[in-house]
Structure formats: structure tokens, C-alpha cells
Amino acid sequence: MCAAAVCAGAAAWLITGQDRGLRRARLLLAGGSAVAEPPWWAWERLLPVVRLRKEWLCLPVALMVAVLGKSLVPLVAGAAAVPLARRRLRAREHRKEEDRRAERVVALCGAVAGELRAGLQPGQALLSGARSTRALGQEEAAVLAAARFGGDVPGALKAAARQPGAQGLAGFAACWRVAVDSGAGLAAGLDRLEAALRAERDQREDLAAQLAGAWSTVVLLALLPVAGLGMGWALGADPLDVLFHTPGGIACLVAGGLLEAAGLFWAGRIVRAGEET
């Protein structure tokens, strides 16, 4: 009952915090006027929690296991798993954001090359392409200001290339500098840069497809202990009672948990080494 009360209090706190953000956003978009808000049981209030707080789903699962096993150990383990799950989810979101930014850089190269062939000047072409693709991220204002007022466009592009996933902007800066210094065609250079970036993206996607089987194997190995517990229940035993309430079961639980963590870490390291290569 205490564990259920803690989980219910955490869920209420999360819903309240998200509600404040929703209220501020509605007031801002409505220009400060009053906006009708949904009731407390509406799905709009629960959806942000599910979308933005997925790591907190560890607690209900841990609570269920704790109730079935009549022990607080799963609840403590679930609470410890929350920050790990948050870190994992954030790392995955960062990788997705890097991929999206890299795709926008490729689109920027094609858009600027097309604008140049349409007769626009380089600065105007960069302004149009950047606004349509949003590939410059936080450095967009600096790059656009340099392009509009005759500043150091290559330097601004190199600064923008330091953002994760925007490394292709360094090649854009090199093409711009070569075109300004030697009079070479900027559109032709951007076409070659776009082709190179697309080839690199296709190579990454092909590697990810090849490693998908390895990641599936890692997940399958991680779920084998759960399958073992299910087989124990199917045979009429009570594996959770043995694991949580007997000395031998506790020793097996600790040793198995350490071996499971070490195996997952090692397997994940092998797969990530392949991705980095």
C-alpha cells in the first residue's frame, strides 16, 4: 500500500507539472486570453506524461513484481532503473536529432545549389535555403546575418558545423571559401558535397540495417531470465518467492543480476564498436 501511494503521488506530481506547461503554452498561443482547459481526467493531461516521461514506467512494472514477490527489492530496483532509462531515452533522442539535422544539411546543399542555378546570388541563395530547411540550428541567426551583410560566412558555417549531426556544414564552408577565393562554381561544389553526404548517409543506414540483427540478439538474451521465470511458474513453482525469501535464491539473484548486466554491457559494447567503425 505504501508503494502504491508513492507511485500515485509521483504520477500526480508529473501530471501537475505537465499541466503548468500546457497552461503556459495555451496562454502564450492565445495572446494571454482565457482558454478553456480540459478536465483533470482528459487524455490531453495524461498524454504528455506518457510521451515525455517514459522512464517512469519502470515504477509500475517494479510495483507489480514487488506485489507478486511480496518484497520491496523489485521496487528499489525499479527506482534505480529510472535514471538509467532516462539516460538511455535521451541518448536515443539525441541520435535521432543528429540524424534529422544531418538530413537537413543535405537538403540545404541541394536547395542552395538549386537557387544558384535559378539566378540568385550566393548570399540570397543561402538565405532562402536556410529558411526552408532549418539546417543551421542555433547558429542560424549568425549565418544569416553574415550572408545578408557580407560577413564571414565560412566562419559562421564552421561554427554551425560544431553542432551534433551538422558536420557537413564544414564542407559547405570549404565550398563557399573556394568559390569566393578562386571564382569556382559554388553550385557544382555543393552538388558534389550533397552526393558525398548522401552516400555517407546511405552507408550509415546500411550499417544500421546489418546491426539490427545483433541488437535483436542482445534484446533476446536480456529477456531469457524472464522466460525462465515464466517456465518456473508454468511448472507450478514460485520462483519469485525463492529468489526474494531464501538465502540461496538471494545469492542466485545477485549473481544472475551481475552476470546479466555484464553480458548486456559487453554485447552492447561490441555492437557499438561496429557502429563507430
> Can you give the pLDDT of all 277 residues of the chain as single tens digits?
555 555 555 554 444 444 444 455 444 444 444 444 555 555 555 554 445 477 788 888 888 888 887 888 888 888 888 888 888 888 888 889 998 999 999 999 999 999 988 888 888 999 999 888 888 888 888 998 988 888 889 999 999 999 988 899 999 999 998 887 765 688 889 999 999 999 998 988 888 888 888 888 888 888 888 888 888 888 888 888 888 888 888 898 889 889 888 888 888 888 888 777 6
Domain ranges of the chain: 98-197
Supply angle C-alpha 126, 130, 136, rounded to 5: 115
Q: Rounded distance, CA 1 to CA 19, Å?
A: 27
Distance set, CA 82 to CA 54, 55, 79, 197, 238 (Å): 9, 5, 5, 37, 27
Please state whether the predicted TM-score (pTM) of the whole model is above 0.75.
no
CB 84 within 8 A of CB 265: no
Query: Tell me, what amino acid is at 16?
Result: T
Cα torsion through 45, 50, 54, 58, rounded to 10: 90
